[in-house]
Chain A
Amino acid sequence: MEALYKNFFRQKKKVDPVIKALEKVPIFEHLSEKELKNIVQLTHEREYKADEYIFKKHAPAEGMYVILNGKIEIKDPGSGSIFASLNSGDFFGELALLDEEPRSASAVCNEPSRLIGFFRSDLLTVIKRYPKLGNKILLNLSRVLGERLRETNKNIIKLK
């Protein structure tokens, strides 16, 4: 009977791949499905070709990207040194959510990629429309930045 119910009556929950990708991002951690759906409504899904720049160094920065699929390289165009190679589920550019400083490196696609963009104006809209959710995201963002700061301090001590 249970098998019959499972096979015929209970619909399998379709999980949106964007929600699936977002819930793994530390900035959107500990959010309910409804809250994630609210975020998805504000994000921008974009497709990029291979070798296409997502942003260039010194360009005005507006927000962060989450990789749905594809490969992205974060690099310094001057020296050519690669800071990071990112894959599906990774995210970058989150500092731009908080400040208006220009990009510190370039981001370029190594292969055709699909990204989710979440920008400062979207964050401000979340804060206005869903203040509780906005607070959760800001708290997560502070935690991510705090971890980065701790990591940087450790590296400085190591270098000394």
Chain B
Amino acid sequence: MDPLQKIYKILLFVIVSFLGWIILPFFSPLILILIFSFLLTSVFLQSVDYLEGYVGSRTLGVVVVLGLSVSVGILFMGSFINSLGIQIKTFSNKIQKDNFAIAVENLSTEIKLLLPEFFNNLVPDGDKVILMAKNFLVNIFQNILALLGSAGNFIFITFIVLVFTIILLIEYHDFKRSLVRFIPNKYLEIGLRTIYNIEKQISKYLRGQILAASSVAILSIVGLFILNKVGANITLIIFIGIIAGLANLIPMVGPFIGMVPAILITIMNNIGNESAFSHYIFNIIPSPFFILDIILMFIVVQQIDNNFITPIVIGESVGLHPMIVMIVLIIGGTLMGPLGMLFAIPATGVLKVLLREIIFISKNSHLL
């Protein structure tokens, strides 16, 4: 290549990169919407392809699959908000009663008696606990109100994502064909191979994740149900199970997120209940309000998931070293928060496939 042409190319690359860097922040919401739409497309593509073979119309297949999923989602959200409202109402009624104040005072004193003197200053007095609980409730209400305030924006974004997903699902194979048109003849077969491998990687990973999340959700619901049988008095177990399953999509951090609502609800429901406070695991280890039972149950669910479910349903599909998983999770979390953590692993999986294909192409470049 002419050296001048080479310099022009480098210059052009620098200018395009710089412009991209400036423009990117304005397009980041759109990019995020497209990423979500693409992920949803990957999740539903197989079902739509399968249904199209039977009903004979792709549009009908998309309508049936998405219609069912959206209906289930709306039902779940509605039912969740309703149940959460009831839970908060019950708890706020409980706080207003006098015997609740006495129960909290007793609890504070009992904890102080149980703990060594050194820790006593760390345990708040009963009235402070009530104040904290009231503040906690006010915070929840404020958060819900803030959520409702941004609900319009959320609904709009969800609607756009849904529309993009419908278009992508209906036109998926045509889009892919149009993309293939841009591949030069020399790289046609290798390009198709790369696209196919990336598609396979994403779809395998997503299906595996959904299966693993469903299994974790079911196991958590069963576990919480068993704990309720021994007197844990945990409400909203189906929703807690589903939250634990969804949180499981974020590796390493997710399982801990799943425990939080269960622990909060058991404390809310059992404050003032003497037998729940003086509960012991296997009659040996003290577990006030069944908190240790819940933690142990989630650890057992995690172990079942990590050792039996995930290796079977996801296997070595992404095949990343745990160290790399941790690094990309930190990078994803720093850049985009929880969403970044959610996307970090599949994005690294795609990069891994791309890298593998680039190495393959460079090794076989003399054959192209």
Q: Chain A interface (Cβ within 8 Å of chain B)?
A: 41-42, 44, 46, 48, 52-63, 102, 117, 119-121, 125, 128-132
12 extra interchain contacts, Cβ-Cβ under 8 A, other than A42-B177, A52-B185, A128-B46? A42-B173, A44-B180, A58-B367, A59-B368, A60-B189, A60-B193, A60-B367, A62-B189, A125-B173, A129-B49, A129-B173, A131-B53
For the complex, give the distance between the alpha carbons of A58 and B181 in Å.
24
A44 touches B53 (CB 8 A): no
Number of A-B contacts (CB under 8 A): 60
Question: B156 on the interface (CB 8 Å rule)?
Answer: no
Within 8 Å CB of B105, what residues of A? none
Within 8 Å CB of A121, what residues of B? 192-193, 195-196
Question: B52 on the interface (CB 8 Å rule)?
Answer: yes
A59 touches B189 (CB 8 A): yes
A-B contact pairs, 17 of them (CB 8 A): A54-B185, A55-B189, A57-B367, A60-B189, A60-B190, A61-B189, A62-B190, A119-B189, A119-B192, A121-B196, A125-B49, A125-B173, A128-B49, A129-B49, A129-B52, A130-B52, A132-B53
User: Known interface pairs A42-B173, A59-B364. Does A117 touch B49 (Cβ–Cβ under 8 Å)?
Assistant: no
CB distance from A69 to the nearest CB of B (A): 16
- Counting chain B residues whose Cβ lies within 8 A of the other chain, the interface size class is 20 to 34
CB distance from A22 to the nearest CB of B (A): 16
Within 8 Å CB of B185, what residues of A? 46, 48, 52, 54
For the complex, give the distance between the alpha carbons of A70 and B190 in Å.
24
**Contact pick for A128, options B53, B177, B360, B367, CB 8 Å:** B53
Q: Which residue of A lies closest to B177 (CB)?
A: A44
Write out, one digit per residue, whether chain B residues 23-39 have a CB within 8 A of any chain A CB (1) or not (0): 00000000000000000
Within 8 Å CB of A54, what residues of B? 185
CB distance from A122 to the nearest CB of B (A): 8
CB distance from A24 to the nearest CB of B (A): 22
Q: Chain B interface (Cβ within 8 Å of chain A)?
A: 46, 49-50, 52-53, 173-174, 177, 180-181, 185-186, 188-190, 192-193, 195-196, 360, 364, 367-368
Q: Which residue of B lies closest to A48 (CB)?
A: B185
For the complex, give the distance between the alpha carbons of A63 and B367 in Å.
16
For the complex, give the distance between the alpha carbons of A54 and B46 in Å.
32
For the complex, give the distance between the alpha carbons of A41 and B173 in Å.
8
Question: Which DSSP category, helix, strand, loop or mixed, fits chain B's interface?
Answer: helix
For the complex, give the distance between the alpha carbons of A63 and B125 in Å.
75
B188 touches A44 (CB 8 A): yes
For the complex, give the distance between the alpha carbons of A114 and B163 in Å.
37
B177 touches A56 (CB 8 A): no
The interface centre, meaning the residue of A53, A58, A129 with most chain B CB atoms within 10 A of its CB, is A129
Q: Which residue of B lies closest to A93 (CB)?
A: B189
For the complex, give the distance between the alpha carbons of A74 and B362 in Å.
25
For the complex, give the distance between the alpha carbons of A33 and B52 in Å.
18
CB distance from B13 to the nearest CB of A (A): 28
**Contact pick for A59, options B174, B196, B367, CB 8 Å:** B367
CB distance from B356 to the nearest CB of A (A): 13
For the complex, give the distance between the alpha carbons of A22 and B196 in Å.
24
Within 8 Å CB of B186, what residues of A? 53
Within 8 Å CB of A102, what residues of B? 367
For the complex, give the distance between the alpha carbons of A60 and B188 in Å.
11
Within 8 Å CB of B188, what residues of A? 44, 46, 117
CB distance from B75 to the nearest CB of A (A): 30
CB distance from B175 to the nearest CB of A (A): 12
A60 touches B364 (CB 8 A): yes
CB distance from B60 to the nearest CB of A (A): 14
A63 touches B173 (CB 8 A): no
A130 touches B180 (CB 8 A): no
Within 8 Å CB of B181, what residues of A? 44
The interface centre, meaning the residue of B181, B196, B360 with most chain A CB atoms within 10 A of its CB, is B196
User: Known interface pairs A42-B177, A52-B185, A54-B185. Does A62 touch B49 (Cβ–Cβ under 8 Å)?
Assistant: no
Within 8 Å CB of B174, what residues of A? 41
Within 8 Å CB of A52, what residues of B? 185
Q: Which residue of A lies closest to B186 (CB)?
A: A53
Within 8 Å CB of A57, what residues of B? 367
Within 8 Å CB of A44, what residues of B? 177, 180-181, 188
B367 touches A62 (CB 8 A): no
